[in-house]
Amino acid sequence: MRRYPKPGDIALVVALLVPLVVALPRLGWPGAEGAGAWLGWIGRTTGILGLAMLLLAAAVSIRLPGMDRWFGGLARLWHLHHWLGFGAFILVMIHALALGLAAVSLSLEVAVVTLFPPLSHAAVWFGWLAWLAMVIFLAPTFDFFGRPHYQRWKRLHLVSAAALVLGLGHALLLAGETALWWLLGLAGLAAIAWRKLVSPRVARHAYRIETVTPLARGVVELVLAPEGKGIEHEAGQFVYLTPLDETLTAGHGEEHPYTIASAPGDARLRIGIKDLGDASHALLGVTPGTRVLVEGPYGEFYGRRFPERDRLWLGGGIGITPFVGGAREIAERGLAGGRVHLVYLANGPDRAYYLDELEAIGARVEGFTVTPHFYRELGPLTEAFLREHCSDFTEREIYLCGPPAMNAFLKRLLADQGIPASRLHSEVFDFL
Ligand SMILES: Cc1cc2nc3c(=O)[nH]c(=O)nc-3n(C[C@H](O)[C@H](O)[C@H](O)COP(=O)(O)OP(=O)(O)OC[C@H]3O[C@@H](n4cnc5c(N)ncnc54)[C@H](O)[C@@H]3O)c2cc1C
pLDDT tens digits along 290-328 = 999 999 999 989 876 777 899 999 999 999 999 999 999
Q: What is the largest CA-CA distance in the chain?
A: 81
CA–CA gap between residue 276 and residue 301 (Å, rounded): 22
Q: What is the pLDDT of residue 428?
A: 78
Residue 363 lies in a domain: yes
Determine the atom of ligand 1 nearest the C-alpha atom of 282.
26
Q: Residue 432 Cα, ligand 1 centroid: separation in angstroms?
A: 10
* Residue 389 vs residue 175, higher pLDDT: 389
Instruction: Tally Cβ neighbours within 10 Å of residue 152.
Output: 10
CATH number of the CATH domain containing 141: 1.20.120
Do 278 and 352 sit in the same domain of this protein? no
Reply yes or no: is the peptide bond before residue 297 cis, omega within 30 of 0.
yes
Give a yes or no: residue 306 inside a domain: no
What string of DSSP letters covers 356-403?
A: HHHHHHHHHSTTEEEEEEEHHHH-S--HHHHHHH-TTGGGSEEEEEE-
Is the C-beta atom of 280 inside 6 A of ligand 1?
yes
For residues 166 and 32, membership in a common domain is answered with yes
Whether 367 maps to a domain, the answer reads: yes
Q: Is 306 in the pocket of ligand 1 (CB under 6 A)?
A: no
State the pLDDT at residue 143. Answer: 67
CA atoms within 13 A on the CB side of 68: 23
**Under 8 Å between Cβ of 261 and 248:** no
Establish if 304 belongs to a structural domain.
Answer: no
Ligand 1 centroid – CA 280 distance (Å): 8
Q: How confident is the model at residue 144 (pLDDT cuts 50, 70, 90)?
A: low
The 10s digit of each residue's pLDDT in 83-128 is 999 999 999 999 999 999 999 988 999 999 999 999 999 999 999 9
Test site for ligand 1: of 150, 270, 274, most ligand atoms within 8 A of the Cβ: 150
Is residue 432 over pLDDT 60?
no
- Segments forming the whole domain that contains residue 420: 311-428
Q: How far is the CA of 268 from the centre of ligand 1 (A)?
A: 21
Cβ–ligand 1 distance for 430 under 6 Å, the answer yes
On whether both 217 and 197 belong to a single domain, the answer is no
1 occurs within a structural domain: no
CB atoms within 10 A of CB 391: 9
- Ligand 1 lined by 277 (C-beta under 6 Å): yes
306 vs 425: CA distance, rounded Å: 12
Task: Classify strands 205-216 and 219-226 as parallel, antiparallel or unpaired.
Answer: antiparallel
Q: Are residues 399 and 321 in the same domain?
A: yes
| Residue 272 CB–ligand 1 contact under 6 Å | yes
Quick check: CB of 242 below 6 Å from ligand 1? Answer: no
Q: State the average pLDDT over residues 149-157.
A: 81
Asked if 203 contacts 62 with a C-beta cutoff of 8 angstroms, the reply is no
What are the tens digits of pLDDT across the range 213-232?
999 999 999 999 999 989 99
- In this structure, are 131 and 261 located in the same domain? no
In a domain, 303, yes or no: no
Same structural domain for residues 33 and 157?
yes
Residue 271 phi, psi dihedral angles, 5° rounding: -135, 120
First-residue to last-residue Cα distance in the chain: 29
Strand-pair partners of 223:
211, 270
* CATH number for the domain that contains residue 337: 3.40.50.80
| pLDDT (average), residues 55-70 | 94
Evaluate: CB of 432 within 6 angstroms of ligand 1.
Answer: yes
Q: Quick check: 407 and 318 in contact, CB under 8 A?
A: no
Of 50 and 33, the structure prediction assigns the larger pLDDT to: 50
Residue 1 has pLDDT above 50, yes or no: no
Point out the domain boundary residue: 179, 201, 223: 201
On whether both 34 and 80 belong to a single domain, the answer is: yes
Q: Mean pLDDT, the chain, as a whole number?
A: 93
Q: At CA 130, angle to CA 11 and CA 42, rounded to 5?
A: 65
Which numbered atom of ligand 1 lies nearest the CA of 219?
11
With a 6 Å cutoff on the Cβ, whether 345 touches ligand 1 is no
For residues 95 and 197, membership in a common domain is answered with yes
Which value, in Å, is the radius of gyration of the alpha carbons in the chain?
Answer: 25
In a shared domain, residues 177 and 262: no
Closest CA to 239 of 253, 250, 255: 255
C-beta atoms surrounding 13 within 10 Å: 12
Nearest CA to ligand 1 atom 35: 430
Helix or strand run (H / E) with residue 256: strand 256-259
Q: Same domain, yes or no, for 17 and 138?
A: yes
Q: Report the alpha-carbon distance of residue 411 to residue 420 in Å, rounded.
A: 10
233 and 367 within one domain:
no
Instruction: Kindly state if the Cβ of 431 falls inside 6 Å of ligand 1.
Output: yes
**pLDDT score of 412 more than 90:** yes
State which of 254, 275, 298 marks the end of a domain: 298
pLDDT-based confidence at residue 140 (cuts at 50, 70, 90): confident
Distance from the CA of 269 to the center of ligand 1, in angstroms?
A: 18
Question: Exposed, middle or buried: residue 86 (CB in 10 Å: 0-12, 13-18, 19+)?
Answer: middle
Per-residue pLDDT reduced to its tens digit, 181-199: 999 999 999 999 999 999 9
The pLDDT score that the predictor gives to residue 33 is 86
Same domain, yes or no, for 195 and 224? Answer: no
Examine residue 254 and state whether it is found in any structural domain, yes or no.
Answer: yes
Q: Residue with the nearest Cα to atom 40 of ligand 1?
A: 256
Q: How many domains does the chain have?
A: 3
Is ligand 1 within 6 A of the CB of residue 114?
no
Q: How far apart are CA 4 and CA 10, in angstroms?
A: 10
pLDDT of residue 5: 85
> Which CATH number is 244's domain given?
2.40.30.10
- Residue 2 confidence (pLDDT) above 80: no
Q: Which of 260, 305, 297 is nearest to 425 (CA)?
A: 305
Give the distance (Å) from ligand 1 centre to CA of residue 255: 10
Q: Any idea what the Cα angle at residue 331 is, between residues 327 and 334, rounded to 5°?
A: 105
Question: Ligand 1 centroid vs 257 CA: distance in angstroms?
Answer: 6
Question: Which of 167-176, 210-219, 231-240, 373-382 has the lowest average pLDDT?
Answer: 167-176
**Domain end marker among 298, 329, 362:** 298
Ligand 1 contact, 240 CB (< 6 A): no
Residue 2 falls inside a structural domain: no
pLDDT by residue (tens digit) across 227-264? 998 999 999 999 999 999 999 999 999 999 999 999 99
Residue 415, pLDDT above cutoff 70: yes
Ligand 1 centroid from CA 106, angstroms: 53
What pLDDT, on a 0 to 100 scale, did the predictor assign at position 110? 92
Helix axes 74-104, 7-27, angle to 10 degrees: 20
Q: How far is CA 39 from CA 60, 106, 130, 170, 364, in A?
A: 31, 12, 22, 20, 69
